[in-house]
Amino acid sequence: MEETNYNTETIVADPMVPTLYRVENYVKETSDTFTLAIAPSGSAAEIKTAKQKQLDAAPGQFNMLYVFGMGEVPVSISASPAGGGLLTHTTRDVGSVTKALSALKVGDMLGVRGPFGTSWPVERAVGKDVVLVAGGIGLAPLRPVIHELLARRNDFGRVVVLYGSRSPADIIFKNELKKWKAQPGVIVYVTVDRGSTSWHGSVGVVTRLIPKIRFDPANAIVMICGPEIMMHYTVDALKQRGMSGEDIYVSMERNMKCAVGFCGHCQFGEHFICKDGPVFPYDRLSSLFRKPEI
């Protein structure tokens, strides 16, 4: 049968067909978390098209990463090429495809489809305080926001980053956290569920920090990414401080097979998380959030 080699610049855009990338840099963050910086592979024209596509990627968006023969999973962009560097994803190894991703080496090939989904409301946050609340791997999808806030530091009010991790050993982006902390007007709190002998920081869930932080709830944007239960309690704590649901943003996670609205897997009530989300203003979800088994 006649076949078309699909990785050429002339293709009609079939949203299910991936673009080929190679691993350029591999950083092991923790025992089960790793960061892959990747670059498109192929002819000069192919590379140009691929780069153009990801240059528009906004903080909060995600890609579908394909490992040969293993499958494809949604992973958020943890550093965007818009900042001048490479397209980057940070992943926790939790199952078959993420394990295969973790086994890739520099130079290995992978497939990428995207970027997909809605982004964090960075423009809405201009002139306001910005509070970012991350649980576990949830810091990865928020990292491009931090990069952008710091690059345009004067556009925003106070910047507060609250990050909860299971244990000190599970903290990702350790060096960057230190750098962010050193910036003027940037507050970074890290808390762990379980401490260790060498841990001198805060112990306890991240929501416990909310009553203590300094920001103006009437003039702030909050972005939350983490397990649903953590996001639920964080929203409660923020409401206690007088925040309104339209200024709180959450990133949702559901099974995804297509990322473009075809497969039906990511439905959350009337929303398709892949295209209406993953980032939503909390108000749009409040009737569904934490409703069991929706």
Partner 1 sequence: MKVIERKYLENLFDQLKEMGYDLFGPTVHDGAILYDQIESANELPAGWRDKQEKGTYRLEKSGEPSVFAFAAGPHSWKKFLHPAENLLWRAQRTDDGFKVLKDPEPKRKKAFIGVRSCELNAILIQDKVFLNGLAVDASYQALRKDVFIVAVNCTHPAGTCFCASMNTGPGATKGFDISLTEVLDGDRHYFLAESGSSLGDDVLIDISGHDALDDEIATGKKALEDAVGKMGRNLDTTNIKELLYANSESPVWDEVAARCLSCGNCTMVCPTCFCTTVEDKTDLTGQHDERWSKWDSCFSLEFSYIHTGPVRSTVRSRYRQWMTHKLASWIDQFGTSGCVGCGRCITWCPVGIDITEELAAIRNNQTEKTNQI
Ligand X SMILES: Cc1cc2nc3c(=O)[nH]c(=O)nc-3n(C[C@H](O)[C@H](O)[C@H](O)COP(=O)(O)OP(=O)(O)OC[C@H]3O[C@@H](n4cnc5c(N)ncnc54)[C@H](O)[C@@H]3O)c2cc1C
Site for partner 1, rule CB under 8 A: 1-7, 11-18, 20, 22, 41, 68-72, 94-95, 107-109, 111, 227, 253-255, 257-258, 260-265, 267, 269-270, 272, 275, 287, 291-294
Q: Does 62 bind ligand X (CB under 6 A)?
A: yes
CB of 38 to partner 1, least distance (A): 12
Dig out the tokens for 167 from the structure: 């244990």
Task: Using the minimum distance from each CB to ligand X, give the nearer residue, 53 or 92.
Answer: 92
Q: Does 137 bind ligand X (CB under 6 A)?
A: yes
Contact status, residue 213 vs residue 186, Cβ threshold 8 Å: no
Q: Does 71 bind ligand X (CB under 6 A)?
A: yes
What does residue 148 show for φ and ψ, rounded to 5 degrees? Answer: -70, -40
Task: Using the minimum distance from each CB to ligand X, give the nearer residue, 89 or 128.
Answer: 89
> What angle do helix axes 174-182 and 139-151 make, rounded to 10 degrees?
30
Half-sphere exposure of 232 (CA within 13 A, CB side): 9
CB of 100 to ligand FES, least distance (A): 20
Q: Does 73 bind ligand X (CB under 6 A)?
A: yes
Task: Using the minimum distance from each CB to ligand FES, give the nearer residue, 132 or 258.
Answer: 258
Contact status, residue 64 vs residue 112, Cβ threshold 8 Å: yes
Q: Does 168 bind ligand X (CB under 6 A)?
A: no
Which residue of the chain is nearest ligand X when measured via CB?
95
Q: How far apart are CA 152 and CA 170, in angstroms?
A: 29
Which one among 97, 146, 160, 223 touches ligand X, defined by CB under 6 A? 97
- The window from 17-25, 72-80, 149-157, 203-211 that contacts ligand X (CB under 6 A) reads 72-80
Q: How far apart are CA 126 and CA 149, in angstroms?
A: 9
Q: How far apart are CA 283 and CA 289, in angstroms?
A: 10
CB of 97 to ligand X, least distance (A): 3
Interface with ligand FES by CB under 6 A: which residues? Answer: 256-259, 261-266, 272, 274
Tokens 């089960």 map to which residue?
A: 32
Contact status, residue 118 vs residue 278, Cβ threshold 8 Å: yes
Tokens 């000190």 map to which residue?
A: 168
CA distances from 15 to 63, 64, 73, 112, 114 (A): 12, 11, 15, 11, 8
Residue ranges that bind ligand X, judged by CB under 6 A: 62, 71, 73-76, 90-92, 94-98, 137, 140-141, 253-256, 278
